[in-house]
Structure 1
Amino acid sequence: MSTLQAAADPDAPLCSVTLPAEWDAEAASALAQLVPGAQAVDLAATASRWVDALAQDDATARSLVWLLLLRQAAPTEPVWSCAFDRPPGFIVNLAAFVSPGEGFAAETFVAAIRLLSSVLRNAARTTADQRNGELPLPDLLTPITQTPAGPAPRTESGQPQPPMVAGDILLTNLDACLAGVGLDYDSEDGRAAACAIATLATLTAHSGTGPESLPLPPVRTVLPGLSETLRAVWRDAAVATDTPLAPVETGFSTPGPVDALLGVEACGLAPVFSLLKPDGRLAASTLDRLAARDFTTETALAAALAGETVLPLPGPNAHMAMYRALTGFIDRMPARPDPAAQPLVRKLERGMRRALPQRQGGFTQKTSIGGHRLFLRTGEYEDGTLGELALTPTRESSMVKGLMESFGEAVSIGLQYGAPLDAYVSSFAYSCFGPSGTVEGDSVATYATSMLDYTFRALSEAYLGKKLPDGPHQDNQTDPDPLLPLDFPAQEGDPAPRKRGSLRLVS
């Protein structure tokens, strides 16, 4: 064990947090957030409270502690404070069930889900009278499950009353799990493996509730040995019963302190956004994907310096594709991702540059702004997003030409490090300085207030799908130049101006 100084947020005072030595500072901050206050926090003492409240025997208590220490599973945030006014839940770290060289431990995963489902049903039965956070109120004291000897409760119409939900099992860190078994998030095999793992969790959690609530297994499993485990779990779960157990629903986690405590890289089913940890070192998923491609850190660096794409990042539609693939294999899906509002290709951490491919798409546009020629060239990634900009004004001075080319290179570097194009457009569109005037050669604009105005309005239409209107014309300016005339107008009372001398030729 080690003791770190951490706080729930940057504005909160620091407190001492004791936790396993291999856990990092983010886990310490998450534990401080789970136990609010300025007092010292100890993981063992904090966990013992909810373990004693949930475990029905010593063996179950030891198993729950073991799952926590291995960072495989931990209860949801309310359970840490022993608040049972709503159904309890557990968050399961999928990546923690991947062993190096052995792949996904399906049998260990099934055993963990069975244990957590049993704990949740027991907690729902013993804490039913505390559920004041659910409606309708008359059902608060309704027994959650029925003993085999007792009759099933019925509604006023005589139909069997469905049992209340005992709790939730939320999966997380899916992308890091796929990286551990050597699969890419944005691939058919990756989605097939994710569907098989989600189905395995749902079948195990629904065991004992009757065959009507079971999802159909996916067609492909991809992972070795997973199909046999799926068939075995299906046989155990697809058994009719007159006394179904309280249902345990499956889903995916949302960002919170429990995910940080488990060392999660990406919450729920989202892809991993960064190749680096917050401290600048390579993330665990990055190391796994390099190993799957037979790369060491040294050879990967050499390949990246040579211009190769060592690890392709997920495309902007990868999150949505995974969401659609998993629908039907899990009880409750999270909010639908919006690729347009949050493109994944821009979620790059500082220090990581996304290199352009050797052969790239794009376009070259020749135009004229107020009679001054400009060549605009773009470079694109495989997904069609902008990654490079080159501006070359012709027939301009060497200083103007150098500044424009340097500006284009600076914008390119920013785009490759993840800067959003719309931020550039909002900053430089309608910038006013010469040369300006009528635009010839491109229908995107008829008038531009500067070369940069034209450039970023053209990029907005090509890559953002937004055509910006022309700015106000500045051709007919009636205001005099502030530097002219050189002689100020005479004011009343001023002395007469001195007569200037003349040049005389002397022979």
Structure 2
Amino acid sequence: WHTASNTGRITASNPCSEYVHLDDSACNLASLNLLTFLGSSDDDTGGIGGFDVEGFCHAVEVVFTAQEILVGNADYPTEAIGETTRAFRQLGLGYANLGALLMALGLPYDSDEGRSVAAAITSLMTGHAYRTSARMADRMGPFEGFEHNREPMLSVLEMHREAAELLDDAVAPELVTAGRTAWFEACALAQRVGVRNSQATVLAPTGTIGLLMDCDTTGIEPDLSLVKHKRLVGGGTMSIVNRTVPRALRRLGYDDVATAAVLAWIDEHQTVIGCPDVSAEHMAVFATSMGDNPIHHMGHIRMMGAVQPFLSGAISKTCNMPEEVTVDDVEELYLEAWRLGLKAVAIYRDNCKVAQPLTVGDASSTSAGGPADVAARVTEQVNAELPEPVRRRLPRSRASRTFEFRVADCKGFVTVGEYEDGRPGEVFVRVSKQGSTMAGIMDAFAISLSHGLQYGVPLRAFVDAFTGMRFEPAGMTDDPDLRIATSLIDYLFRRLAVEYLSPEERAELNILTTSERTQPTLPGVEESATETRQGNDVPADPPTVPSASQFAAQLSLADAPSVRASANAPLCMQCGVAMQRAGSCYVCTDCGATSGCS
């Protein structure tokens, strides 16, 4: 079904999933309100009498032509998208209010009759759109990529025509016949002159524009509920009542008294279920996506399968599933969608989100007991179930590591107690003389660090937070792995990182030993073998003479400093300027002083 397969494959869709075509392309969408083409012959109880086939075809032709004109006059996000779109001229004509149309005809959404009507309308819409596209190609020429994709384009059109021949014309004979005629003429003319557009139709969701088009239902969807409440962005709710119910009742033969009684029941109970004035055999006509009279989720899939053979693109539609749906149910739904040849499927399990745009129920449920209260209850429950941190003490007898260090003129010892798995669980730091301020501060810090480790704080979090702190004493160390430290805390956590963090974690934190900094690759990473060639095997590069602009750029780069001062570089003890790293030391670029090595 890909009309431009010789140019490229289909790798993705738009977020709503109705547009599936070449990469870096766009589709100009438009939708028709189907209910506006249904006449007022409510007493006609047979078939789809009253649908204005001629008016529908005229609307398809006018809107499709307007869409085609806009392709060349539109602006696109990128030049690549603009080039592809102008070369293939994809259009996406569709419709809305199908659910209301079927209800007005007295046909259940999940019925063979309802699917036959939807398929016949879709077939006529796409067939007449391609007929219009072929007529425009006769005057304007086919789309730029037509000749390269002539075979797949004409093959897809023929597949559409063959699907139209298989339609059951018992329910909507006039629509089916008009559709078959449109497909015959479209294919015949396309064989001779091509088509102006590589795609003609999709079924978009029409969520917002459906309200502006005065639709009771959006896209190919049935009604969500006979009475629903829409949450507004600025706060508050808006009640939306299905206005097609009276028309459907009259179509089904109910008089004015019975119709008024049913409407009063719906207004009070928000549903038709339980209404004594509605016959049981008519309940399916008023079935909705959600509520206590729901359409089975397979009914959504079957409706999509009925119209998919007559669409250039895909269908943006929600397959509503009940809250108690199982994994097996979801799996079977996707398998059935695959069997029916659907290009895209989207499911929604009821109440799977704290707040949803449309809700079913009375207005009080959307305020006092609505999503806000639900969110508060969920938050309260989650907070109640959150476990308090538990301290995991070290065993009475445990292994430990002790290492001696010197930072500038400050000497000290660090002892790290370990859990059975080798993770650090406690830290003791001894610096200066017992009773001094420095010793007391470091003891308090070590106790705090030990408690954090025992309560589950990752060592990496401590390392990330405390490395780079700058205060005296700072400078050279006697550690061959870490030659410079900006403070005792900086050295302590970098040493712990070297001992207990993986090389990958240390590389992310930019904590490398002296040997690792001088090693060309990271530890454990082998250098790739590079083929060496000598003598005549080495191709000679032709000499190039730089232009004036390139020469000026080279001079500016040569004058610029080769390295930039590190964010945690120490300040020069002589002039106070930030120093730059030179190997394992730091050097001042102003006065030439070093941090202790030359």
User: TM-score normalised to the size of structure 2?
Assistant: 0.37
Larger Rg: 2
Give the helix-richer structure, 1 or 2: 2
